[in-house]
Structure 1
């Protein structure tokens, strides 16, 4: 293998490589033999036809294409090492010469990690948020639990107010024509949630049971229902029934109802501990974010587009995973928010750029500080991943490609770099 040309254009490394015809021919023989094993040719047992007949039944362009892929895949990691190239993503491949009895020549365009000029990254001043949980915060969680387990009861005397559950008759017209999108009879309407319009909820608040009211609302141009968007709608409503949550008492029985607690005080203590843990996680995440942002401001670097594209794709995959936990698909989610996948990617591009920048900075810090990933750290990470996949460590390890192992190693190295920045930060 011979590197004919090596040049760098910005964050793109270009390699032009030559392999001998003997190398190409040898690999092509292997490809043909692999195809022959599965070929069924009339007059011969499967995989037993003579080579000459097999070759006549094969598309030579397909064979050459497979041969090229195999040779380039094998050559790629060697070329990266020989030419000291640190790739961001898979390369763009162009076949320059593929001709019988001639050297096989191909070109690789590889987006590489950019040059990073770090500014100050030690002694960064950051403010750590408090992890203290107040009585008011605990009381708010308990109040939400109380509301959740309490049931609606009919209100005999009294007028409508926020959080009530209403049953009502509704008539809506635009220029005298009835709006078909809403039913005449509405049940379990949650007052204060602005399901129809904020002004609608305000207009029916304070009404008594069996009371009627007429009013007009001008809907915005971007309202979700096209038939009334930008138009005046005349409403006539009649309250048929008012329901309101009858809050259960906050006692030991309440604690047993919402969880496996022996007393109300146990419930309060458990809520406080969970909130403290959540605050600690949020505080740690905020601290890391502050440090990365501070170092980013002092760093000079030009991110390749492919790096931002890759991070955007990762964030889309994370969104899909998050949605799947709620039994939702990305397609259904996009329909509900009236956006396309391209629009979501556009929305994610700015945070993806920040994340990509953070990763590049941490990679550089690890390089400058000569941080390394010991084999036992990698083994620990593999064991954790194996546990989550219900596989043995050895089974999981065998399933990992070299690329997956490299990705895991890079992740651990970035984590070490971030720990280094935190340990050398000026935290108040």
Structure 2
């Protein structure tokens, strides 16, 4: 039986004893796997007896590998026996050993912290609006008008706000060009605020074919630290001015852009889709607000390694996703002008909050004793399969079988977590939102 020697905060200390017999057997196994790598005079490669190899290379030549052969399984069994939820790799220290004797291995490892819940039933959160206004529907129609607008070139007047212009520009700071400060055939809508303050205003009143300079100042919070608060001069050539001719919103326009025959039919479809989007968004906002409220009441000392591990996991996922789109993480960091360590620091607060949220949910699961039945798991698998393979029953059956016969613990944990979150949201009380929250 393994026993915990002591526990300091989130670090647990215990010993494992590997018997001399186990070590002897493991050394023989290691010898058999590796004997062909040893050159011993008088013996063909792979034929030298274990004792001879030990005489030539040292008595403990197979000892370390033998320990590595036995220890991982013993460690996993001990973790399970002690019911430890470890969050980092263990530190391993072997006391002095003598041939033919048991070996004592000292282990210390960090585990998840103790979490004390505060109030988690009936927490108050600001009400999340879900109304789909007529203005929102009209905005969607307006987007379609702009997507289907005619572009008309204008060369008989100066540029004004609202125009689309095509420009070449070259910027300098202290007389020197800077990275990203030069472009050709750049499309820009005047008044949209897409460039730094003063840039678009400097083009207003200019005519096609003109080349001119404008003086601007980079914002103090500009993303590139090298340019923050710096004065710059941009030399600009105005290549063209254009305006949009927007189509009228009538039944003929609707027929051209959709499968519907009338404006009313199109608006009803947009309202239905937007309602679903808004309700899904509102659900996510409620979950976020409830979890943040529960976190506020937590008593927990968060181990730094949990945050570091979570950040590393997020960065690995980000790197994988970007590489699938042809962008390496290193390129992305260069674009940001940040090192990996600097980028991780920008993530730290959000990641800490996510870790705390996860610990809060785990504590609620433990407190409420949520469980998931086999029937619930089967239903989840069938629903997921029906979603992915709606028209292929054979593939649905294969997916269900894979989900229920594969890593069922992952499926079970996910369902239990969702149960706990639904429980928290269902028991939360929505109160009238502050004016600024409604606007946001």
Relative to the length of structure 1, the TM-score reads 0.80
Partner of 1:364: 363
Q: Does 1:269 align with 2:268?
A: yes
Structural mapping, 1:302-321, within 5 Å: 302-320=301-319
Q: 2:38 and 2:405 mapped to 1: Cα distance?
A: 33
Q: 1:394 and 1:54 mapped to 2: Cα distance?
A: 53
Moved more, 77-86 or 246-255: 246-255
User: Offset of 1:154 from its aligned partner?
Assistant: 0.6
8 A contact 1:126–1:425 mirrored in 2: yes
Render the CA deviation track for 1:212-244: whole Å, top value 9, x for unaligned.
655433456887899987665555555342122
8 A contact 1:386–1:393 mirrored in 2: yes
Structural mapping, 1:25-424, within 5 Å: 25-35=24-34, 49=47, 52=50, 63-97=62-96, 99-168=98-167, 186=185, 188-192=187-191, 197-210=196-209, 213-219=212-218, 232-234=231-233, 237=236, 239-252=238-251, 254-255=253-254, 258-320=257-319, 323=322, 326-378=325-377, 392-394=399-401, 400=407, 406-424=409-427
- SS state at 2:17 partner: strand
Q: 1:180 and 1:353 mapped to 2: Cα distance?
A: 34
Moved more, 275-284 or 81-90: 81-90
- Count of aligned positions: 420
User: Offset of 1:116 from its aligned partner?
Assistant: 1.6
Render the CA deviation track for 1:10-41: whole Å, top value 9, x for unaligned.
011111211101112223333343446x8799
- SS state at 1:202 partner: coil
8 A contact 1:363–1:413 mirrored in 2: no
8 A contact 1:128–1:283 mirrored in 2: no
8 A contact 2:310–2:351 mirrored in 1: yes
8 A contact 2:172–2:181 mirrored in 1: no
8 A contact 1:4–1:17 mirrored in 2: no
Moved more, 103-112 or 53-62: 53-62
Root mean square deviation, CA, Å = 4.2
Question: In structure 2, do the counterparts of structure 1 residues 195 and 51 end up closer, same or farther at CA, with 3 Å as the change threshold?
Answer: farther
Q: 2:196 and 2:420 mapped to 1: Cα distance?
A: 50
User: Offset of 1:94 from its aligned partner?
Assistant: 3.0
User: Offset of 1:9 from its aligned partner?
Assistant: 0.7
8 A contact 2:167–2:184 mirrored in 1: yes
Q: 1:63 and 1:163 mapped to 2: Cα distance?
A: 78
Q: 1:267 and 1:348 mapped to 2: Cα distance?
A: 42
Question: In structure 2, do the counterparts of structure 1 residues 72 and 381 end up closer, same or farther at CA, with 3 Å as the change threshold?
Answer: farther
Render the CA deviation track for 1:71-118: whole Å, top value 9, x for unaligned.
222112321232232223443333334553222222222211212221
User: Offset of 1:144 from its aligned partner?
Assistant: 2.2
Q: 2:293 and 2:32 mapped to 1: Cα distance?
A: 58
Relative to the length of structure 2, the TM-score reads 0.78
8 A contact 2:224–2:337 mirrored in 1: no
Which runs of 5 or more structure 1 residues have no equivalent in the other structure? Answer: none
- SS state at 1:245 partner: strand
- SS state at 1:199 partner: coil
8 A contact 1:4–1:18 mirrored in 2: no
- SS state at 2:201 partner: helix
- SS state at 2:5 partner: strand
8 A contact 1:28–1:64 mirrored in 2: yes
8 A contact 2:167–2:237 mirrored in 1: yes
- SS state at 1:301 partner: coil
Question: In structure 2, do the counterparts of structure 1 residues 395 and 281 end up closer, same or farther at CA, with 3 Å as the change threshold?
Answer: closer
Q: 2:97 and 2:412 mapped to 1: Cα distance?
A: 37
- SS state at 1:86 partner: coil
